[in-house]
Amino acid sequence: SEAGGRPEENGHRDKRLKRAVGEEDAEEQNKKTPKRKIVLLMAYSGKGYHGMQRNVGSSQFKTIEDDLVSALVQSGCIPENHGEDMKKMSFQRCARTDKGVSAAGQIVSLKVRLIDDILEKINNHLPSHIRILGLKRVTGGFNSKNKCDARTYSYMLPTLAFAHKDQDVQEDAYRLDRETLERVNRLLGCYKGTHNFHNFTSQKGPRDPSAKRYIMEMSCGEPFLRGSLEFAVIRVKGQSFMMHQIRKMIGLVIAIVKGYAAESILQRSWGEEKVDVPKAPGLGLVLERVHFEKYNRRFGNDGLHQPLEWAEEEEKIAAFKEQHIYPTIIHTEREEKSMVNWLNTLSIHDFNSSAVGVQADDKHSK
């Protein structure tokens, strides 16, 4: 019909006009679009990546941020040169996850152009195992690392990790009993409060004030089956964590429960003495969420900014974990047996060495 034809004609003309304007003025338009400070809520499966943090100039080790920055540039949120120098967009990650570690609630802060359909456009340029699940505007001086009050991690592991070393267990047949779970939780509870965790990272000396860390909560949940293999999830909330700290905290509890180390090693490990603390595999570790209580109290209800809470995104977070994080952990554990292989190395650790012995070893190695 004639009535139906006119808009079509106009549509064609409009498209031609838009294309011409777009080609000439796209760059000019981008320069005029003001940048705004935002936070992005990220979820990713860390398998195959060398951690979160980008190493500009090192393409050999791929990181989560490599893929994120590429998507930000391709979607038009940031100019290309900002990808080379991340300071130009005031980029800051909340937590620097290690190699192979996943996240369900990572937060990054940065300045971007707030283009239309921004989340959809960024996600279109990301692989399916990395998703941006939410975006919020924040204050101009916001820094996701400095403003974060606490971080919550989970660690998913097969419960056979808690079977005593003298117990002959079949992987698929092992089930965690109530008594052992209670003991695990009693030991994990010992970490609560402030302790000197210099033995739980390779980067700090016993008198380094920054080795003192505050743990708010730590416990192991009820076991559950995935196929024929039984798993459990340990959750830990702390102000901040050092490199490998959580994996070593869990590794030491496993060593105690399995009968390789005495319970007294926990107290020893917080003293100045050097203690041999085993590091559990990175596979099961997931950054669950980051907390901004102080920021929310000050700016969350000021009428200009939204509180950094993600209740509306909870369903998407849960769906991502079920689709990308848990299956990867379970499949990799079955295929590569990272926990089982690591458990076999516990016997070579020296859990009884004295401070004197370690000092002598140190001098010898120097």
Break the chain into its structural domains and give their ranges: 34-137, 150-294+303-348
Q: Report which of residues 365 and 259 the model is more confident about.
A: 259
Q: Report which of residues 109 and 5 the model is more confident about.
A: 109
- pLDDT score, position 115: 92
Alpha-carbon distance of 350 to 234, in angstroms, equals 25
- In the chain, the amino acid numbered 148 is C
Residue 34 reports pLDDT greater than 50: yes
Alpha-carbon distance of 211 to 44, in angstroms, equals 28
Say what percent of the chain tops pLDDT 90: 70
Residue 25 reports pLDDT greater than 60: no
Reading the block at residue 215, the tokens are 């743990």
Alpha-carbon distance of 113 to 72, in angstroms, equals 10
- pLDDT score, position 348: 94
Task: Give the 3-state DSSP-derived string for 117-168, with helices as H, strands as E and coil as C.
Answer: CHHHHHHHCCCCCEEEEEEEECCCCCCCCCCCCEEEEEEEEEHHHHCCCCCC
- pLDDT score, position 110: 94
Binding-site annotation: residue ranges? 153
- In the chain, the amino acid numbered 18 is K
* Secondary structure class of 90 (helix, strand, coil): coil
Alpha-carbon distance of 7 to 178, in angstroms, equals 71
- pLDDT score, position 358: 42
- pLDDT score, position 23: 43
- pLDDT score, position 364: 41
- Per-residue DSSP letter, 34: P
Distances in Å between the alpha carbon of 353 and those of 88, 200, 224?
49, 16, 37
The pairing of beta strand 102-113 with beta strand 35-44: antiparallel
Residue 2 reports pLDDT greater than 60: no
Span 193-215, average pLDDT: 94
- pLDDT score, position 362: 45
- In the chain, the amino acid numbered 31 is K
- pLDDT score, position 29: 52
- In the chain, the amino acid numbered 256 is I
- Per-residue DSSP letter, 287: E
- pLDDT score, position 319: 97
Span 237-262, average pLDDT: 96
- pLDDT score, position 248: 97
- pLDDT score, position 31: 56
42 contact partners, CB below 8 Å, separation of at least 6: 64, 68, 103, 105, 106, 107, 108, 130, 131, 132, 133
Residue 245 and residue 97 in contact, taking contact as beta carbons nearer than 8 Å: no
pLDDT tens digits along 45-79: 999 999 898 877 666 789 999 999 999 999 999 99
Class of domain 34-137: alpha beta
Q: Do domains 34-137 and 150-294+303-348 have the same CATH topology?
A: yes
Catalogue the active-site residues: 98
Binding-site annotation: residue ranges for substrate? 153
Lowest mean pLDDT among 31-40, 88-97, 216-225: 31-40
Span 16-28, average pLDDT: 48
Lowest mean pLDDT among 25-39, 277-291, 293-307, 349-363: 349-363
- pLDDT score, position 201: 94
Distances in Å between the alpha carbon of 84 and those of 55, 64, 73, 79, 119?
10, 15, 10, 10, 22
Q: Report which of residues 6 and 214 the model is more confident about.
A: 214
CATH fold of 150-294+303-348 reads Alpha-Beta Plaits (3.30.70)
Alpha-carbon distance of 208 to 219, in angstroms, equals 27
Name the average pLDDT for the chain: 87
Span 114-125, average pLDDT: 95
Residue 36 reports pLDDT greater than 70: yes
pLDDT tens digits along 123-182: 999 999 999 999 999 988 899 999 999 999 999 999 999 999 999 888 899 999 999 999
297 backbone φψ class: left, alpha, beta (φ>0; ψ -120 to 50): alpha
On whether the pTM is more than 0.95, the answer is no
Alpha-carbon distance of 43 to 105, in angstroms, equals 6
Model confidence at 366, pLDDT cuts 50, 70, 90, reads very low
- pLDDT score, position 354: 52
Residue 13 reports pLDDT greater than 60: no
- pLDDT score, position 59: 67
Lowest mean pLDDT among 102-106, 293-297, 341-345: 293-297
Give the residue from 86, 95, 82 showing the smallest Cα distance to 54: 86
Residue 7 reports pLDDT greater than 80: no
